[in-house]
Structure 1
Amino acid sequence: MTKNSPTSVNRRVDIVSAAIEVFAEIGYYRATTAKVAERAQISQPYVFRFFSTKEALLQEALEVSWTRILEAFRAVIETVAPDQLEKELVDAYIHIMKSYQNETLLQMQAQTIKEDMIAEVMQKGFRDVHQVVLEAFKRSGFEKPYERTLIFLARGMLCNISMALSVPELMLVDE
């Protein structure tokens, strides 16, 4: 089996998925590649075939989570009328949070990890999301697009806290 065979690619995805679960459940610092391997139902040396360090595995897990958000937002931006843009972006994010809760929890944890590689992937993720939303708000003619983007991102962070702490009333809005 070569490194790029379909089975190899699938195992890499399985390892990242297992890592997301393990990191979200017990935290990056308590997690081990042995626990990730156990969750993925493979041997620990097989994890190292794809990832040289636990940090590299976390980096890829975070990149997967940021890519999911960016792809969802871009799909909304391409298909939604300007007057529905913000609502549909919020709905897309809520769907991601519900469907991929561990990824959200992982991103929340990663904000506190000081390793340069992890800080860089988090900075890039936030910057990319900020840029995509800002450009969409500008193209849609939103007044004060920078402020609207800031409020949108702040709302997303509050969504994360609401979900992580099981405090849904934080997200109540006036109808």
Structure 2
Amino acid sequence: MARTRLTAEERHEQLLRAALTAFTTGGYAGTTTDQVARIAGVSQPYVIRLFGTKQQLFLATVENAGRRIEERFRQAAAVEPTLASLGAAYDDLLAERELITVLLHGFTASADPAIGPVVRDCFGRIYRTVRELTGADQDEARQFLAMGMLLTCLGAMQVVGPDPVPREPWMTELLDK
């Protein structure tokens, strides 16, 4: 059976998807480029050739997650440029548990001097995008992002999103609007 040859861009995206899965499971410290390679079905040296280091691969994965959130917010704002619309878009993104979990791993790894600036820039872009798209003031954007961080944490704990755990009273209290 003949194998389909992927373009460089398709291979890059394939490796980012594999890295998303690997880093979601093991975090930055607990993931190897060999694990990413196995998930993608390529050799470990190939991963290094494309990304250089595990750190560069992790940063590319976090940046890609941030871009996907920004893109989804832009799509939502094209229909209705409100915080409610962006919030509904984020609710949809919570179904992509790997996406939100890798962001949490980025936040926890941001004490690393090479990772911190990239993660902070990613979060800053999301903040500026929310303000730009909705016209939200500083306080409104802060509240929106604070709720988003809460939902991100709850999503990573499987309280919200696909296949949530059974609700406990404290969960309901946090999520009641």
Higher helix share: 1
User: Which residues of structure 1 form unaligned runs of 5+?
Assistant: none
- Which residue pairs with 1:109 in the alignment? 105
Tell me how many residue pairs correspond in the alignment.
161
Instruction: Report SS of the residue matched to 2:114.
Output: helix
Q: Distance in 1 between matches of 2:46 and 2:108?
A: 28
Task: Name whichever of 114-123 and 18-27 sits farther off.
Answer: 114-123
* Residue from 161, 173, 176 that aligns with 1:173: 176
- Which residue pairs with 1:136 in the alignment? 133
The two structures, once aligned, show a CA RMSD in angstroms of 1.8
Matched-pair identity in %: 29
Deviation at 1:6, TM superposition (A): 5.5
CA contact (8 A) 1:59 1:117 kept: no
Q: Distance in 2 between matches of 1:13 and 1:136?
A: 27
- Which residue pairs with 2:156 in the alignment? 164
Deviation at 1:90, TM superposition (A): 0.7
Opposite residue 99 of structure 2, the aligned amino acid is: E
Opposite residue 101 of structure 1, the aligned amino acid is: R
CA contact (8 A) 1:137 1:149 kept: no
Deviations 1:18-75 (A, max 9, x none): 0110010112111111111001011111111201100000011011101001111112
- Deviant stretches of 4+, over 4 Å: none
Length-normalised TM-score, structure 2? 0.84
Task: Name whichever of 49-58 and 160-169 sits farther off.
Answer: 160-169
